Amino acid sequence: MAFVIPENLHEDLYPLAWMIGTWAGTGRCEYPGIEPFDFAQEVSFNHDGRNFLNYYSRTWKIDENKDITEPFEFESGFWSIRDKKILEVVIAQSIGINQGWVGIVDGAKIQLALDKSYSAQSASLVDTGQRLYGNVEGELFYAYDMGMNGHDLQAYMWSSLARKVD
């Protein structure tokens, strides 16, 4: 499928243009204190002509037949680029965690490091984190490593998502 830069996209966002749209697929979650599980995920990136992308991600736990058994996490945020390659991302998670991320855009590979984190009293604070997004053979690959509750930085969630076609 040929890629076309979306109409009215702010020129600062050209390095992220390949991400715009909705992606869906499955992944895996494993972390100390959590029973490992598979999940379904839908991620959307869109824009309104200003110099940031809107970001939404929803996950659901799934069974061995890939049927949804319950909702898991929802997050939303904004992605912006400065100096043509420095990425700044803010994300709010439904479990009461808000995070600021900073990273580098390198073609179809994006690496983010957790810059600042805030959590509500009822949520655990994420101490360290890394996120990786990349276009791997036409799919959006996602990996989230984190350190929290006294655990060192380690794999938490990863998925591979196909672009949804309208």
pLDDT at residue 83, as a whole number:
87
Q: How large is the average pLDDT for residues 15-20?
A: 94
With a CB cutoff of 8 Å and minimum separation 6, the contacts of 40 are 24, 25, 26, 59, 60, 62, 66, 68
CA distances from 93 to 11, 55, 135 (A): 28, 12, 24
Tell me whether residue 41 is in a domain: yes
- Res. 2: pLDDT tops 70: no
Write out pLDDT tens, residues 24-42: 999 999 999 999 999 999 9
Q: How far is it, in rounded angstroms, from Cα 139 to Cα 98?
A: 27
The verdict on residue 1 lying in a domain is: no
Structural domain boundaries, residue 25: 11-163
Indicate whether 44 belongs to any domain.
yes
108 domain residue, yes or no: yes
Tell me the pLDDT tens digit for each residue of 67-83. 999 999 999 999 999 98
Q: Provide the number of structural domains found in the chain.
A: 1
The residue to which tokens 């991400």 are assigned? 19
Mean pLDDT, rounded, for 120-138: 93
In a domain, 2, yes or no: no
Say whether 126 sits in a helix, a strand or coil. strand
Please report whether residue 5 resides in a domain: no
Asked whether residue 67 is domain-assigned, the answer is yes
The one-letter amino acid code at 26 reads T
- Reported in sequence order, the residue ranges of 11-125 that DSSP labels E, i.e. its strands, are 21-31, 34-46, 53-62, 68-82, 86-93, 97-106, 109-119
Per the domain annotation, does 3 fall within a domain?
Answer: no
Report the CATH number that the domain containing residue 146 is assigned in CATH. Answer: 2.40.128.20
